[in-house]
Each structure stands twice: as C-alpha cells, then as structure tokens.
Amino acid sequence: MVVRRVLEAGCRILATCIVKKEPITATMLKALVVLFPVETCNRLSCQTLVMFIIGYAGFFRFSELIGIRRNHIQFYEQYFTIFVPSSKTDQIKTGHTVTIAKTGNCTCPFKVLTAYLQKGHMFNLSERYIFRKLVFRKKSDEYVFKDEGKMSYTRCRELLKEKLSNSWGGCEEILFTQFTVRWSYRGRR
C-alpha cells in the first residue's frame, strides 16, 4: 500500500503537463492569403497555402491531403469534388467524395486550387499527386516539382511551421501542426 502511494506520488511529480495544439482559424487563413497572394507568390508558398485551405475546407487528414491526385479532382460551376480513395475511417475501403463549394471570398478554395493547378501545369487526366516535393532551380530562379512521389509528413510540417512563424512573427511554432487545420473546423460542431 505504501509502496503504491510512493510510486503514484513519484509519477505525479515527474509528470509533464499536456500541451494542446492551437487550431488554425479562418482569420489566420485570411492573413496567410493576404501575405502570400496565390496569383503572385512562388510555387512553394502557393502549395503551402493550398494545403492549408483545402485541408480546412475539406476536413482532410494529412494522409488524405497528400494522397490527392489531379485526376481525383472534378470541377463544376459552383463547386468541385475530390475523390478520396482511402481513409482511416473508411472501413470497407471504397473511398468517398468530398464536395467543396465556391465561396467567392479571398480564401475561396475553388479559386486557390485552380490557380495552384495552373501554376503547376497539372492537367485534368494526370495521375500525379498535387502535393509533391519542390526544389529551387537557381538558373530559372523558381521552384519546380522534383519527382512523382508524395510530399513527406516531415517536409509538410516544416513548410506549415515556416509559413505560420513568418506570418505571426515570434509565435510558438510548436503550438501548431498540420492536423490543427482539420481540428479547427471540427471544434465548431
């Protein structure tokens, strides 16, 4: 009995506090769009911005977001759909389609995604991932896609932290993760 209480007291003394991640809000997304306008920014900033906005608007998990291929996206007049072939919550593994509406404001996912696809020269029937590795070419002074593979979790996290710290100079980078994009919308239900 005494040994158990000493053990429990030791665990309480050595325990660390849980630090919850802060959600990405619509205000933060608007600030990012103002800071990195999709029409004038480079491919790297544009890709990061599109990841934020599409992740926020479509409630995507990271694995779902980086798994989007160009041929999974269908554009219509007032909305677009993204087919997600596999998901953590898809028990029968048939996939599902996410519909995202055109909003008309500065953070409109429709406008941002179409601009990004045009910048990346991604054509309708292409089977390439839309979020891929980018490398900087000194000769042409621009970012170009490196290969056909998906973007890694680590690189995505670096990019998102970099953009957040640039736009909110001095904010705690560790408070945000790419999953907070999904959580921020979820918290409003």
Q: Where are the domains of the chain?
A: 20-186
Q: Grade residue 102 by pLDDT with cuts at 50, 70 and 90.
A: very high
Note the residue count of the chain. 189
Determine which helix (DSSP H) or strand (DSSP E) holds 134, and give its type and residue range: strand 134-137
Q: What is the pLDDT of residues 117-128, one digit of tens each?
A: 888 878 777 888
Does 170 have pLDDT greater than 90? no
| Cα dihedral sign, 186-170-54-64 | negative
Does 188 have pLDDT greater than 50? no
Are residues 113 and 80 in contact, defined by beta-carbon separation less than 8 angstroms? yes
Q: What is the pLDDT of residues 16-66, one digit of tens each?
A: 777 776 677 788 788 888 888 888 888 888 888 888 899 889 888 888 888
CATH topology for 20-186 is hpI Integrase; Chain A (1.10.443)
Mean pLDDT of the chain: 79
